[in-house]
Amino acid sequence: MPRPMDVVFPGRERFEDRRKEGDQRKLLDEFFDHATLLTVSRLQHRGLFRAIEFPISTGKEGGVFRATHSDGFRAVKIYRISNTTYRNLPPYAVEQLRREASLRNYGGLIFAWTRREHTILGRLREAGVRAPIPYGHARNILVMEYIGSAEGAAPRLKDARFEDPEAVYRDLVDQVGRMVRDAKLVHGDLSPYNTLYLDGHVVLIDVAQAIAADHPEARRLLVRDITNFAKFFTRLGLPVEPEAFLTAVGGDRVGRRAERA
């Protein structure tokens, strides 16, 4: 079996150009315990990727790493198995996850959360929403489409440079509308922080907390997300009214079943 350093970071020279040796070791300790390394190896043998290169982003709940593949690159998302990750899950999602695992079993909950994101990504893609293609998952690891180029990952919308905010707004309305009307989902945490921008188009990411459009909480969450985006575009010089945005994406249909009940 390969040594852990070879399993995780075979492109060591490139990685060390981006991180010092101490940071590399810290990432290994944080994300790649023995069980996770075995899962990485299983996914490699399934052909989902060749080798993990370096981190694209890391946070309290997990990290996303770029990996090599015969057709280019893949994104490998690894969730931390910890109480901290569990505490950051939205209550409505925990209600559903508890059907698959005990609330005392953090590992089981995180595995279910990973499966959930894989399933929702597939549902969005079927509805024509621009989101990463899900390729597979195991335990706390999700393998999906890499959004970016050989030069680097696509920037978050809040960090992106674009000359036509109105075109970006129209594209966002189209994508959120497809999510609401066709996939019948509400993202639940949509913002310029978890929307990528590539080649003039937005890409929706971090979708595990998405909620059914007829859920009692769906309308409140959609209004909150749209209001935040309206402020974002207004700061860019494009006045956007939240009510008009909500109507444009089909928000008037959200939560109807719950209201009738």
pTM, full prediction: 0.86
33 is catalytic: no
pLDDT at residue 59, as a whole number: 82
- How far apart are the two ends of the chain, measured CA to CA in Å? 57
Co-location of 217 and 100 in the same domain: no
Domain shared by 173 and 53, yes or no = no
**Residue ranges for the chain with pLDDT beneath 70:** 1-25, 83-86, 99-104, 256-261
Does one domain contain both 125 and 19?
Answer: yes
Q: Which long-range contacts (CB under 8 A, 24 or more apart) does 220-228 make?
A: 221/186, 221/187, 221/188, 221/189, 222/180, 222/186, 222/187, 222/246, 222/249, 222/251, 222/254, 223/251, 225/186, 225/187, 225/188, 225/189, 225/190, 225/191, 226/176, 226/251, 228/190, 228/191, 228/192
206 flagged as catalytic: yes
Q: How far is CA 239 from CA 62, 165, 235, in A?
A: 35, 10, 8
Question: Does 112 share its domain with 173?
Answer: no
**Domain match, 159 and 106 both:** no
Q: Which of 149, 169, 199 is the last residue of a domain?
A: 149
Task: Say yes or no: 135 and 188 in one domain.
Answer: no
Claim to verify: residue 17 and residue 135 sit in the same structural domain = yes
Burial letters for 222-249: b for 16+ Cβ neighbours within 10 Å, e otherwise? bbebbeebbebbeeeeeebebeebbebb
- What is the C-alpha to C-alpha distance for residues 181 and 178, in angstroms, rounded to an integer? 5
Looking at the fold, whether 11 and 137 belong to one and the same domain comes out as: yes
Q: Containing domain of residue 132, as a range?
A: 4-149
pLDDT on residue 30: 78
The span from the CA of 51 to the CA of 32, in Å, is: 14
| Co-location of 9 and 120 in the same domain | yes
Whether residues 12 and 137 share a domain: the answer is yes
Catalytic residue among 33, 206, 214, 225: 206
The active-site residue out of 189, 199, 214, 225 is 189
Provide the 8-state DSSP code for 5. H
C-alpha–C-alpha distance, residues 40 and 61, integer Å: 18
Distance CA 167, CA 169 (A): 5
> What is the total count of domains within the chain?
2
Amino acid 18: pLDDT = 54
Same structural domain, 130 and 8: yes
Q: Are residues 161 and 145 in the same domain?
A: no
Enumerate residues 6+ apart whose C-beta is below 8 A from 171.
200, 201, 202
